[in-house]
Copies of this chain bind each other. A is one copy, B any other.
């Protein structure tokens, strides 16, 4: 009987997910333990739909290098939460394909799939390993120090804030810029946008995260005070900031305004704060929603992030060789005075599935409405180094495209 590997990607995109997939393929290449490596199209849905492709077509060095620099998810993704009804079909596909280990690259929700499948196989005494490989720009997985993909998103945000500040400081007029950053429940991405002020810059001026109740009066008060001595005030806010009451900031307005179709205007919180500031302060205000670019942009990816993502994938294969199951790979930061060091370990997936890690409240300075300097030591090692990107003849990064229609028969 063959010992085969199956890999699936799940949840939202980042620029490091394909690098972890490349790491798994590299791990497969380096051992004789396994016979074939397959990928499922659109995560666990591809298992249910029998849409499986042979990844050995992409296991050469050139493909792997391109895979490592390709953003998003080249096998596609899904948001499927599996139920008991799905187990028999999944089992049948895994047995037909002689799967020894299933790797699932994903975040909190995807680890729920890992947990459920592992429990199911154990309960039926089926020897199939299920291993979780962490990824998410949200960085909200417990146990692991950080998640692959987060460092590159932080670097993009740090750099982009510098450029937005350059762009915003050219006119000698009072103006406020409000940048909205992804993060419905936690402020991990938003704190990275606060870096420029600690690293030689004078902006941003306000950072607001969902972990800390947002006070509209204090927000306006601080902007007003700053405008007496400077022209430009830059604020960065998580999309999910909440009032003390727990409701999202601007919620009433967002559901109050209705367009020609009768739709509620679901503009983001930055648009709401733009109107609030314009109304209360009366100067020029611009809101900027960074949207998907913060998770999709690979051009300024962090080399240490991408390298770690590859190692995390390879480590997952090591765990599989040792017949581990029901676990997720974990990045542990060593307590050292010699700069940044990490090691790869693992944790029972039950410690991660459906759970969330927030930004520590003691990293936030309530009075100054800003993060504390502690974030620098945490973040900078994750954003370090430049990729040696392969470009096409017009200078754009080359993306690997996997033929998702070339499914195998079984």
Contact = CB atoms under 8 A, between A and B. Distances in A.
Interface of A: 13, 41-42, 45, 70-73, 76-79, 155, 158-160, 162-164, 166-172, 199, 252-253, 256-261, 263, 265, 267, 271-272, 275-276, 278-279, 286, 288-289, 291-293, 295-300, 302-303, 380, 383-386, 391, 394-397, 399
A7 to B, nearest CB: 15
The 10 A-B pairs of least Cβ separation, nearest first, read: A167-B296, A72-B166, A77-B170, A163-B296, A253-B260, A257-B257, A261-B279, A73-B170, A167-B292, A288-B291
A86 to B, nearest CB: 16
A171 B167 CA distance: 35
Contacts of A278: 263
A78 B172 contact: yes
Given A159-B299, A394-B380, A172 B265 contact: no
Given A258-B257, A263-B278, A300-B299, A386 B395 contact: yes
Nearest to A391: B386
Given A77-B170, A257-B257, A293-B293, A396 B299 contact: no
Contact of A383 (B79, B299, B385, B394): B394
Given A167-B292, A170-B76, A162 B385 contact: no
Contact of A42 (B166, B171, B271): B171
A141 B184 CA distance: 43
Contacts of A261: 275-276, 279
A158 B396 CA distance: 9
